């Protein structure tokens, strides 16, 4: 299962061993559990508003038979269901009133696959945003050091792997798909249900191969593009356009050249979402096991190995946890 905080609600995707999935919306303030997308109208769920009785589901029928879709929030009203078995994203409008439900707006196709290739969705990450709409009031009552926070997700990072049918190993490394939310929202058509990759992907995304091990991590408005990278990467079309218009200078922003991988894709996949790389000169942050950050705080966390307190290792697998003697935490303040 997967759970993601979406404002005052939690979006929960649950699937079983047969990869049948349902999506729930849970109000973490009131306790209301509501099904927003299920595969059977007879599916019983718990509704705590109705004295823990079971209730019947709405009519929406979703047959999910092959793999597990996962819901990723785009903003307060849009949700993307990653459907790797169909090699597409289902963009849904999340309506809370009168009855919570997901309404499909369109399907955005992912990079077209070569014959006999399957797409496997690994994980999704988004930039940090507050979990509550009353964040501002909360902060002002706690006192704040610097008054800025981000209330909207700028980019979403998805990771995929590709596999030839009938083979057990994956092709190459995993692939990251960085999606600009602003570009994605503007790409949602009003009159077309299926949007080909070429109509939205190249201009709205950055698609590149990365090492398969850890998920992409956000660092404030940046992404750590690859594991152990010395640089962090910022995708921001607004910034790009503003800098271009105001300065007229040659920009440090760049776009990724297309790569040819005929094994898994039908043709070379080129994407043009501009980005800029910034060298991470802070050694503590670079050497940290991992970093977490919002717009105000940057925290470097270093796992300390028993007996070698100055030794830093970067493995997050379970067997390595036995050696960890603690965690050293360094907190930075932005501004």
Strands 194-195 and 101-109: parallel
Give, in order, the Cα–Cα distances in Å from 202 to each of 240, 255, 280: 16, 10, 28
105 binds other proteins (CB under 8 A): no
- Residue 298's DSSP bridge partners are 293, 332
93 binds other proteins (CB under 8 A): no
Only one of the segments 82-90, 114-122, 200-208, 289-297 lies at the binding site for other proteins (rule: CB under 8 A); that segment is: 289-297
What three-state secondary structure class fits 285?
Answer: helix
Contact letters for other proteins, residues 6-35 (x by CB under 8 A): --x-x-x-x-xxx-x---x-x-xxxx-x--
Beta carbon nearer to other proteins, 60 or 270: 60
| Least separation in angstroms between CB 260 and other proteins | 33
Question: 70, 71, 125, 128: which one contacts other proteins (CB under 8 A)?
Answer: 128
Beta carbon nearer to other proteins, 83 or 294: 294
170 binds other proteins (CB under 8 A): no
CA distance 39 to 289: 41
When computed from its CA atoms, the radius of gyration of the chain, rounded to whole angstroms, is 21
CA distance 226 to 33: 37
Only one of the segments 102-110, 126-134, 164-172, 262-270 lies at the binding site for other proteins (rule: CB under 8 A); that segment is: 126-134
Alpha helices, DSSP H only, in 163-231? Answer: 181-187, 197-204
| Least separation in angstroms between CB 77 and other proteins | 17
CA distance 28 to 100: 15
**92: its two tokens:** 């849904």
**97: its two tokens:** 């009133």
Give, in order, the Cα–Cα distances in Å from 73 to each of 10, 207, 246: 10, 20, 33
Beta carbon nearer to other proteins, 204 or 264: 204
| Least separation in angstroms between CB 84 and other proteins | 17
Q: Among residue numbers 217 through 256, which ones bind other proteins (CB under 8 A)?
A: 220-222, 232, 238-239, 241-242, 245-246
Question: 93, 137, 167, 272: which one contacts other proteins (CB under 8 A)?
Answer: 137
165 binds other proteins (CB under 8 A): no
Beta carbon nearer to other proteins, 152 or 209: 152
309: alpha, beta or left? (left if phi > 0; alpha if psi -120 to 50): alpha
Q: Among residue numbers 144 through 163, which ones bind other proteins (CB under 8 A)?
A: 144-152, 154
Beta carbon nearer to other proteins, 47 or 104: 47
297 binds other proteins (CB under 8 A): yes
CA distance 253 to 273: 10
């Amino acid at each position: 299962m997967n759970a993601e905080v979406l404002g005052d609600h939690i979006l929960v995707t649950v699937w079983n061993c047969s990869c049948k999935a349902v999506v729930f919306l849970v109000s973490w303030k009131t306790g209301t559990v509501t099904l927003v997308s299920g595969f059977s109208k007879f599916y019983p769920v718990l509704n705590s508003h109705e004295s823990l009785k079971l209730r019947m589901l709405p009519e929406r029928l979703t047959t999910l038979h092959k793999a597990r879709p996962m819901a990723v929030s785009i903003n307060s009203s849009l949700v993307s269901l990653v459907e790797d078995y169909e090699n597409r994203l289902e963009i849904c409008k999340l309506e809370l009133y009168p009855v919570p439900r997901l309404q499909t707006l369109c399907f955005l196709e992912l990079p077209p696959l070569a014959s006999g290739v399957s797409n496997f969705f690994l994980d999704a990450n988004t930039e940090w945003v507050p979990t509550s709409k009353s964040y501002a009031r909360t902060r002002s009552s706690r006192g704040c050091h610097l008054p800025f926070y981000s209330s909207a997700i700028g980019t979403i990072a998805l990771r995929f792997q590709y596999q030839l049918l009938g083979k057990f190993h994956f092709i190459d490394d995993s692939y990251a798909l960085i999606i600009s939310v602003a570009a994605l929202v503007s790409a949602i058509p009003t009159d077309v249900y299926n949007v080909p990759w070429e109509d939205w992907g190249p201009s709205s995304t950055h698609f590149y191969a990365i090492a398969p091990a850890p998920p992409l991590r956000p660092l404030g408005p940046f992404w750590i593009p690859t594991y152990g990278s010395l640089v962090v990467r910022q995708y921001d079309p607004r910034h790009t356009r503003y800098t271009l218009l105001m300065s007229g200078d040659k920009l440090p922003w760049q776009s990724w050249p297309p790569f040819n991988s005929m094994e898994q894709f039908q043709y070379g996949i080129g994407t043009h979402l501009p980005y800029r790389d910034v060298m991470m000169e802070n050694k503590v942050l670079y050497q940290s096991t991992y970093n977490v950050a919002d717009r105000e705080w940057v925290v470097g966390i270093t796992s300390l190995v028993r007996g070698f307190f100055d030794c830093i290792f970067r493995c997050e697998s379970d067997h390595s946890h036995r050696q960890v003697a603690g965690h050293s935490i360094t907190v930075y303040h932005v501004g």
